[in-house]
Amino acid sequence: MNWVNTSVDNYYNWLREKTFIQKDLNTDWFLINTPFIGAFNDTIEIYAKKNGSLLKLSDNGETISNLEIQGLQIQGSKRRKSLLDSILINYGVKIDNDELVIETNIDKFSQSKHNILSAIIEINDLYVLSNHNVASIFKEDVRNHLDSQNIIFTPDFISKGSTGLEFNFDFQIALRDKEIVIKSFNTINKSNLPTFLFSWDDIKPVREKITKKNVTAIAIINDIDKEVKTEFLEALKSKNANFILWSDKDSVENKKLLVA
C-alpha cells in the first residue's frame, strides 16, 4: 500500500471519528453532526429519518436561514435564484419552505448524504453575493477600471465639510485645476443617494477654499442586470453631480469625465 492509499484511509477514518450521531427522543429523526465547516465556523449538521425503505435527509432550513442572517436574500433576485436552483439540480436536492431535502431509498444513503452536504457547502458560499460583499467587489471593479485608464487616484478619501463632519469617498482624483471625488454604487437608492449628495455639497466649498480648484463629484453606478431609476439620475443632475453607468464606462464621454 502506497502513501496515497494510506492517506485516503486516514481521511476516511478521520471523517468517521468526527461524525457524531444523536437521536431525537421525541421523533424518528437522527441528527448527524459532520466535521465540515458551516457558515459561522461551526460544523454542518444534517437530519435523517427512515420510513420503511424510504430515506429523508434535511438541513432543517438552516442553510437558507444562515444566508439571510448574513444579509443575502434569495427571493427577489433572479440571478441568486438561478444560482441556487443550479446547485439544487446538480445534487438532486429539493427545497421545501426554505428547507433543503433529499427523499430517496435507504440503500442510497451514502450518496444522498454526500449530495446534501455538497449542496449545503456550495449554497453557503453564496454569502459572497450579500449586499456588503457585492458592493466591495464592485468598488474593486471601479478601482481596476481607474488603473486601466492610468488614472492616479487616492482611495478611501476622507474630507471634512462645512458642517464639521468628515465624509468618506471611494476615490479622489487630483488634477491641475480640478478635483474629483467618486462614490461607487453597486445599488443606488433613496437611502444612499441623498447621503452622497449631501456629503459632496458639504465638502465642496471647503475643498475649493483649500485647494483653489473646482471640485466635482461622480457617482459610478452598477447598472449590469439591474435598472437604475431615472429619478435618481435626475437628482444627480439637479445637484450638478456627474454619473457614469457601468455599462457605458468605456464611452469617450465618460472617460473624459475622469480626466477633464
Do 120 and 30 belong to one domain?
yes
Task: Tell whether 121 and 138 lie within a shared domain.
Answer: no
CATH of the domain at 149: 3.40.1350.10
Backbone angles phi, psi at 245, to 5 degrees: -80, 135
Query: Are 43 and 91 in a shared domain?
Result: yes
Pair (117, 166) in one structural domain: no
Q: Which domain holds residue 230?
A: 131-257
Q: Which residue has the cell 457524531?
A: 20
Percent pLDDT > 90 in the chain is: 75
Buried (b) or exposed (e) across 160-176, using 16+ Cβ within 10 A?
ebeeeeebebbbbbeee
The whole-number average pLDDT for the span 70-84 is 83
> In this predicted model, what pLDDT tens digit does every residue of 194-230 receive, in sequence order?
999 999 999 999 999 999 999 999 999 999 888 899 9
What confidence score (pLDDT) does residue 207 get? Answer: 95
Q: Is the dihedral of CA 148, 227, 252, 195 positive or negative?
A: negative
Residues 135 and 123 in one domain: no
Identify whether residues 245 and 150 lie together within a single domain.
yes
Judge if 121 and 168 occupy the same domain: no
Q: Which three cell numbers stand for residue 218?
A: 461622480
Name the domain count of the chain: 2
| Domain edge (last residue) among 98, 128, 158 | 128
Cell 453532526 sits on residue: 33
Out of 66, 101, 128, a domain closes at: 128
Is the confidence at residue 2, as pLDDT, over 80? Answer: no
Residue 260 banded pLDDT, cuts 50, 70, 90: low
Average pLDDT of every residue of the chain: 92
What's the Cα-to-Cα distance from 77 to each of 69, 127, 130, 159, 209, rounded to whole Å?
17, 14, 11, 36, 45
DSSP 249: T
pLDDT, residue 219, reads 98
Taking phi over 0 as left and psi of -120 to 50 as alpha, with beta for the rest, 165 belongs to beta
Residues forming beta bridges with residue 37, ordered by sequence position: 43
Closest CA to 115 of 166, 58, 176: 58
Is pLDDT above 70 for 125? Answer: yes
pLDDT score for 1:
65
Under a CB-based contact definition with an 8 Å cutoff, are residues 63 and 120 in contact? yes
**Which residue bears the cell 441623498?**
194
> Which CATH number goes with the domain that contains 68?
3.30.1460
Instruction: Quote the distance between the C-alpha of residue 227 and its chain's center.
Output: 18
pLDDT interval class at 3 (50, 70, 90): confident
Lowest mean pLDDT among 8-12, 91-95, 120-124, 174-178: 8-12
Helix (H, G, I), strand (E, B) or coil at 53: coil
What is residue 108's DSSP assignment? G
pLDDT at 78 over 90: no
Q: Is the pLDDT of residue 190 over 90?
A: no
Find the range with the poorest average confidence among 10-14, 92-96, 216-220.
10-14
pLDDT single digits (tens) 130-155: 777 888 889 999 999 999 999 999 99
